[in-house]
Structure 1
């Protein structure tokens, strides 16, 4: 069945008649090779695209007010250039894909200041040295990373690692010494 017909059928089944009434949409297990054009759903807040065959990620047609995005269990290799406009995201599931390039991935997510929950486990990036501390540093609003709560000790350590100069100045001010 064509994706547009599939969406239409799902909406009819749910009793939704107008595009403006769609705030949740599930397109799981549809063998989708990519993200369909969903620009007509202006009030879409939660989108399930997990368990498909998505390789290339292009989410430009998605509403920038999306708060939850489920993309786990696909074949995504990179998110570069695909998600940075989704600044209202609070939850992002990307586990069990083929995502590489931790630096590029974090650069893509840098504008997401409300992102509280994210999963990247079972991706090559999650095996890179310093992965967890790097993500915590790049996404300061994150509360749960890979199904584990981010502890304050992890935040402090991330700050020490990635903001060494600021940490040194703060330590000197805290102990009434002058930073040299």
Structure 2
């Protein structure tokens, strides 16, 4: 089925007649192979694109005020160049895809200062050495990662691992030691 028809059918089912009334849109399980142009939905906040066949991710047509994005269970290989403008995201589900390149992925998500809940499990990146601590360090607003609460001890360890020089300075100042 054509993507435009899928969107129109979804809106019709919910009795929505105006684009400005669309705050949520479910395009899950529609066998989509790409992200459709959704630029007409200026007030879209929640988008379900899960359980499709999306390979290449291009979300430039998605409103930057989106707060929830569900992309799990697709065939996505990379998020580079696709999500950085979505700075209001609070929830991002990307589990069960083919995403590689932990550093590139975290670089793409670095501007998401409000991201509280994210999933990356069942992706090649989740098997990289130091994965969890790296994600916690790069996305400090996260409260839940892969369905598991981020603990204060994990934050501390992440800081110590990825900010060693800064940690040493803080320790020396805190305990009155002079750095040599």
Residue correspondence of structure 1 range 54-69 to structure 2 within 5 A: 54-69=54-69
Aligned equivalent of 2:165: 165
Aligned equivalent of 1:145: 145
Cα deviations by residue, 1:17-66 (Å, 9 ceiling, x for unpaired): 00000000000000000000000000000000000000000000000000
Q: Give the Cα separation in 1 of the matches to 2:10 and 2:153.
A: 45
TM-score, normalised to structure 1, is 0.99
Aligned equivalent of 2:154: 154
Aligned equivalent of 1:179: 179
Query: 1:5 Cα deviation (Å)?
Result: 1.1
Cα deviations by residue, 1:148-179 (Å, 9 ceiling, x for unpaired): 00000000000000000110011111111122
Residue correspondence of structure 1 range 1-180 to structure 2 within 5 A: 1-180=1-180
Structure 1: give runs of 5+ residues left out of the alignment: none
Q: Give the Cα separation in 1 of the matches to 2:126 and 2:45.
A: 27
* Partner SS state of residue 100, structure 1: coil
Q: Give the Cα separation in 2 of the matches to 1:106 and 1:178.
A: 35
TM-score, normalised to structure 2, is 0.99
Query: 1:73 Cα deviation (Å)?
Result: 0.1
Structure 1 segments, 4+ long, off by >2 Å, are none
Question: How many residue pairs get matched?
Answer: 180
* Partner SS state of residue 47, structure 2: strand
